[in-house]
Structure 1
């Protein structure tokens, strides 16, 4: 087993989040025509809640839990639905969107540490969202709202261009089987959606414990003219977590498979571009379990170009 990364390592200084641009007054909103993504990046599981969570859900609906009218699916957003975020939060403040918030460990911690910033947590799985809502209420966090909806539609319909200060995607479903790669959230179309809602100087932060997805995100977002890797060329060669994963085939080991390690020359990641751990991303139970089985964490940070 290789040594685990120093997960307490502080991130190098980065630009302050750009101020979000005010929403346009036109009710139709000036937004780019973007195709709906197919297929969906998730598969819904059981929506059944424990009685205690159901009571919390019912009490929070229309408050911490956004009451979003559905479109054709129970996770889609009705085309005529919009939100005035200043009215929703009762103030005008930078908004950070976290996609795939799970039970809310990361977003709740960030919201508590940043009371002057508002957060939208997007989570499609109702049991996870119920735990998230319960956490928000228990910790009395007034600067978090929860959307149980398809993330691309939320970005398209609920935000004006340049209205989001940062977008966070931590540990998205890797869909690691090749036949399922098409379900991954981060693809060319999704990059366009994120670019639309971020102003120049806005930041997109990502993290994954799956090396194949990490390489895909680094490549796709890095190829976009709308984003710049804040850590291009850093943590390359033998300092790269990707080199270590390939050299020992840590992905296979972590899944209980026979490893097929590469020679160092072939395993060597010359490109790098991996960010230090983002200081604002608390270590969740999911990440702790990933580290325990020897997986490596890949952080990426991109800034929206003018």
Structure 2
């Protein structure tokens, strides 16, 4: 992905922080320089395996879409018309593949710049015969700005974005009012935004930011869970999450809908 000069924090769904491993168990470098331009991701080191490289060669031409600064023709890209869900940052693609399998009537447009992660998801696509995923290996902010017109999405998934847990780094978090407003504008009326995190302070910030967006309604407002949603049945627990839960760590889901 390329950076785009917009007022959004630097963060990456599923990217590790200096003191916290990512959902796939990787560990970040000791420090990350704050760039002058803004991205929706943080580049991670990682080696593409032989199997991932083969998946790129065999399946990339079909499932990886080229970035183009023009509106996406989703029906052409997926070979059908169906509800369109954007995922920002899918890590190694474990949850993405599961959700696409259990929701075969939806199309999933997935943004990730981490090459081993893209290769891993392509490998899962081939092994599990998944047809309703397309991948953009590009900055999600630029994809939103140039490829997704307003009111084109039925849903948005942002699972376990980098929490940037040090206070001085909080401004780099992805879930901030300007990006949320942009996401909401791309949602159809009634479309949903589903975020999840395993870092409680970030969960609290997400809840505050999403609740402050006037075009969104909290689907869990009356659930008696403090504004957090029960884990939707389509989102699986990853190995990383299960390990964290065994250690007593929490996971918070937030599901908001655009007002109709």
- Is TM-score (shorter-chain normalized) higher than 0.5? yes
Q: 1:36/1:153 Cα in 2 relative to 1: closer, same or farther (>3 Å)? A: farther
SS at match of 2:169: helix
Contact in 2 for aligned 1:95/1:165 (Cα 8 Å):
yes
Q: How is 1:226-241 mapped onto 2 (pairs within 5 angstroms)? A: 226-236=215-225
Shift of 1:36: 5.8
Shift of 1:50: 2.2
Shift of 1:115: 1.5
Q: 1:36/1:220 Cα in 2 relative to 1: closer, same or farther (>3 Å)? A: closer
Shift of 1:286: 2.1
Structure 1 residue ranges without an equivalent (≥5): 1-33, 69-77, 237-271
SS at match of 2:61: coil
TM-score, with structure 2 as normaliser: 0.82
C-alpha distance in 1, partners of 2:164/2:7? Answer: 20
The equivalent of 2:170 in structure 1 is 181
The one of 233, 236, 243 aligned to 1:279:
233
Shift of 1:231: 1.3
Q: 1:36/1:302 Cα in 2 relative to 1: closer, same or farther (>3 Å)? A: same
The equivalent of 1:305 in structure 2 is 259
Structure 2 residue ranges without an equivalent (≥5): 9-36
SS at match of 1:63: helix
C-alpha distance in 2, partners of 1:144/1:231? Answer: 28
Q: How is 1:1-306 mapped onto 2 (pairs within 5 angstroms)? A: 35=6, 37=8, 38-46=37-45, 48-68=47-67, 80-236=69-225, 272-306=226-260
Shift of 1:41: 4.3
Contact in 2 for aligned 1:121/1:145 (Cα 8 Å):
yes
C-alpha distance in 2, partners of 1:85/1:41? Answer: 22
TM-score, with structure 1 as normaliser: 0.70
Shift of 1:184: 0.8
- Tell me how many residue pairs correspond in the alignment: 228
SS at match of 1:62: helix
SS at match of 1:275: coil
C-alpha distance in 1, partners of 2:44/2:113? Answer: 10
Query: Of Structure 1 and Structure 2, which has the larger fraction of its residues in strand?
Result: 2
Contact in 1 for aligned 2:198/2:252 (Cα 8 Å):
yes
Shift of 1:61: 2.5
Shift of 1:85: 0.7
Contact in 2 for aligned 1:41/1:183 (Cα 8 Å):
no
